[in-house]
Amino acid sequence: MAGVGSACLTIGLFTALYAVGASLYGARGGGRRWVDSGRRAVYCLAALCVGAFAILESAFLRSDFSYALVAEGSSTTTPTFYKVTAVWATQDGSLLLWVTLLALFSGAVLFLTRRSLRDLAPYAAAVLGTVAAFFLLLVVVWENPFSTLAVAPQEGAGLNPLLRHPAMMIHPPMLYTGYVGFSIPFAFAIGALVTRRTGADWIRATRRFALVAWTFLGTGILLGALWSYSELGWGGYWAWDPVENASLMPWLVGTAFLHSIMVQEKRGMLKVWNVSLICATFVLALLGTFLVRSGILDSIHAFGASTIGVQFLIFIGAVIALSAGLVISRLGDLRSKARLESLLSREAFFLLNNLVLVALALVILWGTFFPLISEAITGTEQTVGPPWFNRLVTPLAIVLVLLAGIGPVLAWRRVTVAALRRVLLVPLALTAMVLVALLALSDATKNVASLVMFCFVAFVLAVVAQEFWRGAGARRSMTGEAWPRALARLTARNRRRYGGYLAHVGIAVLFGAVAASSAFLEQRDVRLSPGQSVSVGGYDIDYVRATADLGGDRGGTGAPIAFGAVMRVTHGDETFTLRPSRNYYSTADPSRGAISRFFEGEATSEVDVRWGLRRDFWLAVRPDLVSLEKPIARADREFADSPGDVQAVVINTITELYRQEPPPAAFRVIVSPLVAWIWIGGAIVLLGALVAAWPSPEARLRRVRSLYKARLGRELTRA
Amino acid sequence: MDPSRKRRLRLVVALGIAVLLASALVYTSFSASSEAAKPSEIEEGRSYKLTGKVVADSVARDGDELRFRVRDRDGTQSVPVTYAGVVPDPFREGREVILAGTLQRGTFVAERDSLVTKCPSKFTKEPENS
């Protein structure tokens, strides 16, 4: 089957190249049939990629260790869920997933535009085909996921224990869908530039793809943060690691793009800006894919030794050069139809929001690549840490939230001061009340930046609530509907607008939660023996007893041994029990003894969190196995050649030893306020994006009518 | 003021602000950064981001403190390190680590919680943060 998979990819490569050739030839005078043929080649490519992916997936499910990839990344003891997802935990497998998603997206967009955008679509197909061909080339020549081993090992190495977390396994496909999704508007932008059809048609055709890509990318980033918070034993959700930054940059620029295309649709302005933004987004998405694989930056995140860094750099360079050249050569066609009339207008604030978002992305880009930049300038490699990022990003984020509140209430073209007063009066009054309440009732003054952030969040919520209130009120007075129905109908009729408002609410909530949880976090690292207790942030924590678990596998991650603790926590009159633990995986390292092998493999924290809307109580344990070293060493000598069941008894005895006489263990306790609202805010954004992206019946009706009209027109001219 | 002059003025103001912000970016990054160095390169009293590999059989725990030696990625020169704080899950002898701290009397004293561990290349995908 590996041969079939390989063949799928090779044929896929040629299919992609054919799609490029046929589309270009068709568009350059070869005729409609070539264009159709090129498009069908893309469908074919999608089928081939899905086929190859399915073959690889089934090899993982069958634990067929004759595949090098399966032997590396899976094992018979890996739980089924993680077998499925182990495919994209490897370099080769994740590239295959990338190109499969790209082919599916390309097929979908070309199918949807098969009857419209006739000039543009062939060029878009050619661009998409080129990108697919590049990735297939990587997969076929350098990183073939179907390479086989001459002798299949009995057992595979297993999936990296740290990746055995549900969020971690959905996170990569989400990110990839985001990255890949942005290639669709990019391809159509290139098509628009080539054909000089620089109106808003390409935007209308791909707007929804951009929105879907943005949503997936954002969800992927948040899932990564959630994984970091609840799986890695350090308790944070963001560390400004190069690879985290790499996923955030295209998201920020993509956010700017989603806003500024509205200005082009409504006012015919910002054309150069829009094509530049989408090119930048795509390049940053490629950069994100590349950074994880190159090892050029010191990230703890990167894939192992890589062979495809240079190819990626060449491709990214080519994309930048070609798109920049194309934009410059089309400057004349990209001239705006209208001018900015007033700085107090929606388009001016969109522009401002764009500048802030791009500035954010530039700051992060600079910080991420600072080791390379500083080495080029001064000769020594220097790095900037999280404090630097926080210092620069915080003010920009605050301005961004403020703009998210003002933007929606401004009218296009220009706003009068009187109108502004009318829409801002209530929100500003509410914000002032929140400020007074915060000053009087909380210790928010400790941190000015977060105090400002809370006020602006309140402002955004008030503005959006007022918008919903007024819209629904207007509907009610016209139709006499009840409030809930009026709200629902209002949203359903103006999905982009009210979906966007919801997204603003979600982002504001998310930013507020980030501010609260980073400024008011209480954290302590302590060593405790059973019976001892400690107090952190008003919580009294008792170490009740140690636990040792053999084969229990509470987390479903396939770990054979877990040591942990039972902790009783008291907060006011609330008492609860947490059971943090640490999983120990066995290693196949032959230099280790037969028994110590079971204790000296990877170990991962199984954090226990008491989730709450007001605050999270987060607890991790790191047991000290020093007292077990001697018994383990003795067992290594005495039971090295014993049968498996005897060794199992020995291991059981050793783990019991830990339970009965536990040495002091290290604990990390974090009391983090409002952190749950990060995930809730994210969910609200997701909801808003879904509302905005969902096709509305009116739009469908319009499309049907226009098709009907076109047909009628054709028949009339023929008659 | 006629519109074209006004536009030019606006452009100059915008560019001025952009240049100002960019220089702030450059300035803060150079002043806030710390130098990345290998064990063979560090000097007494200065602060660094130390990168290297944990020397085999050098890890010892002393109460809350972790003591080990870090050597050049491709060399043998090493430096003793003391560290307190959370130890990332993948931390092992022989693995690549990054630590922030200063060299004091021949010992690299690392900042609390600054230890970052890279995974071995046998795992293809590696975790962030830790």
Separation of alpha carbons A130 and A126, rounded Å: 6
Structure tokens at A117: 């955008």
More confident residue, A61 or A307: A61
Contact A89 B49 (CB under 8 A): no
Chain A residue numbers with beta carbons less than 8 Å from the beta carbon of B130 are 232-234, 300
Instruction: Write a three-state SS string for A438-474.
Output: HHHHCCHHHCHHHHHHHHHHHHHHHHHHHHHHHHHHH
Checking if the pLDDT of B74 tops 70, the result is yes
Structure tokens at A647: 């060794």
Separation of alpha carbons A396 and A385, rounded Å: 18
Residue B106: pLDDT band with limits 50, 70, 90:
confident
Q: What is the pLDDT of residues B8-60, one digit of tens each?
A: 888 898 889 889 988 888 888 888 777 888 888 888 888 888 888 888 888 88
In this complex, the residue of B36, B127, B130 whose CB is nearest that of residue A383 is: B36
Instruction: Write a three-state SS string for chain B.
Output: CCHHHHHHHHHHHHHHHHHHHHHHHHHHHHHHCEEEECCCCCCCCCEEEEEEEECCCCCEEECCEEEEEEECCCCCCEEEEEEECCCCCCCCCCCEEEEEEEEECCEEEECCCCCEECCCCCCCCCCCCC
- The CA-based angle A624-A166-A6, given to 5 degrees, is 115
Q: What percent of chain A has pLDDT over 90?
A: 45
In this predicted structure, what is the pLDDT of residue A382?
Answer: 82
Mean of the per-residue pLDDT values of chain B: 80
Chain A residue numbers with beta carbons less than 8 Å from the beta carbon of B88 are 232-234, 300
Q: Best of A171, A234, A365, A628 to disrupt the B interface by mutation (most B CBs within 10 Å)?
A: A234
Element (H, E) at A535: strand A533-536
Contact A160 B125 (CB under 8 A): yes
Residue A295: pLDDT band with limits 50, 70, 90:
low
Contact B86 A302 (CB under 8 A): no
Q: What is the pLDDT of residues A497-534, one digit of tens each?
A: 999 999 999 999 999 999 999 889 898 888 899 999 99
A615, A672 Cβ separation under 8 angstroms: yes
What ranges do the domains of chain B cover? Answer: 1-33, 35-117
Of A31, A34, A38, the C-alpha closest to A17 is A38
Chain B residue numbers with beta carbons less than 8 Å from the beta carbon of A371 are 36
Number of alpha carbons in the 13 Å side-chain half-sphere of residue A703: 12
Contact B89 A605 (CB under 8 A): yes
In this predicted structure, what is the pLDDT of residue A119?
Answer: 87
Of A406, A499, A512, the C-alpha closest to A457 is A512
Checking if the pLDDT of A358 tops 60, the result is yes
Beta bridge partners of A524: A669
Residue A557: pLDDT band with limits 50, 70, 90:
confident
Element (H, E) at A546: strand A539-550
In this predicted structure, what is the pLDDT of residue A297?
Answer: 64
User: Which CA distances in Å does B117 have to A136, A536, B114?
Assistant: 32, 28, 10
In this predicted structure, what is the pLDDT of residue A526?
Answer: 87
User: Which CA distances in Å does A58 have to A1, A697, B45?
Assistant: 10, 40, 57
3-state secondary structure of A521: coil
Q: What are phi and psi of B103, to 5 degrees?
A: -90, 115
Alpha helix ranges (H) inside A480-523 = 483-493, 495-519
Checking if the pLDDT of A193 tops 60, the result is yes
Considering only the top CATH level, what class is B35-117? Answer: mainly beta
Q: Best of A90, A94, A96, A160 to disrupt the B interface by mutation (most B CBs within 10 Å)?
A: A160
Could you tell me which residues come within 8 angstroms of residue A108 by beta carbon, excluding any fewer than 6 positions away? none
Q: What is the pLDDT of residues A575-585, one digit of tens each?
A: 999 999 988 88
Structure tokens at A176: 């990839």
Beta bridge partners of A566: A545
Residue A662: pLDDT band with limits 50, 70, 90:
confident
Tell me whether B33 touches chain A (CB under 8 Å): yes
DSSP A303-327: -SS-S-HHHHHHHHHHHHHHHHHHH
Residue A22: pLDDT band with limits 50, 70, 90:
very high
More confident residue, A245 or A556: A245
User: Which CA distances in Å does A694 have to A216, A264, A686?
Assistant: 15, 21, 12
Chain A residue numbers with beta carbons less than 8 Å from the beta carbon of B97 are none
* Gyration radius (Cα) of chain B, Å: 22
Q: What is the DSSP letter of A570?
A: E
Mean of the per-residue pLDDT values of chain A: 88
- The CA-based angle A608-A611-A615, given to 5 degrees, is 120
More confident residue, A506 or B129: A506
In this complex, the residue of B25, B121, B126 whose CB is nearest that of residue A366 is: B25
Structure tokens at A169: 């396994």
Checking if the pLDDT of B121 tops 70, the result is no
The alpha carbon of A446 is separated from its chain's Cα centroid by a whole number of angstroms, namely: 32
Instruction: Write a three-state SS string for A356-395.
Output: HHHHHHHHHHHHHCHHHHHHHHHCCCEECCHHHHHHHHHH
Contact A232 B29 (CB under 8 A): no
Q: What is the pLDDT of residues A437-483, one digit of tens each?
A: 999 888 877 888 999 999 999 999 999 999 999 999 999 888 888 88
In this predicted structure, what is the pLDDT of residue A698?
Answer: 64
Q: Best of B10, B48, B123, B129 to disrupt the A interface by mutation (most A CBs within 10 Å)?
A: B129
Dihedral, A128, A130, A132, A136 alpha carbons, nearest 10: 170
Chain B residue numbers with beta carbons less than 8 Å from the beta carbon of A388 are 28-29, 32-33
Dihedral, B79, B81, B86, B92 alpha carbons, nearest 10: 40
Mean pLDDT, residues A668-675 taken together: 92
Q: β-strands B78-84, B107-110: how paired? A: parallel
Q: What is the pLDDT of residues A106-165, one digit of tens each?
A: 999 999 988 888 889 999 999 999 999 999 999 999 888 898 888 888 888 888 777 787
A569, A617 Cβ separation under 8 angstroms: yes
A223, A135 Cβ separation under 8 angstroms: no
Residue of A nearest to B96 (CA): A300
Residue B76 identity (one-letter amino acid): T
Residue A347 identity (one-letter amino acid): E
Q: What are phi and psi of B100, to 5 degrees?
A: -100, 140
Query: Helices A483-493 and A495-519 sit at what angle, rounded to 10 degrees?
Result: 100
Contact B34 A232 (CB under 8 A): no
Q: What percent of chain A has pLDDT over 70?
A: 96
Q: What is the DSSP letter of A597?
A: G
Could you tell me which residues come within 8 angstroms of residue A637 by beta carbon, excluding any fewer than 6 positions away? A593
Structure tokens at A238: 């963001």
More confident residue, A269 or A592: A269
Chain B residue numbers with beta carbons less than 8 Å from the beta carbon of A162 are 89-90, 119, 127
More confident residue, B90 or A60: A60
Structure tokens at A131: 């990108």
Mean pLDDT, residues A25-47 taken together: 93
Q: What's the maximum distance between 2 C-alpha atoms anywhere in chain A?
A: 98
Residue of A nearest to B60 (CA): A626
Separation of alpha carbons A357 and A248, rounded Å: 11
Number of residues assigned to chain B: 130
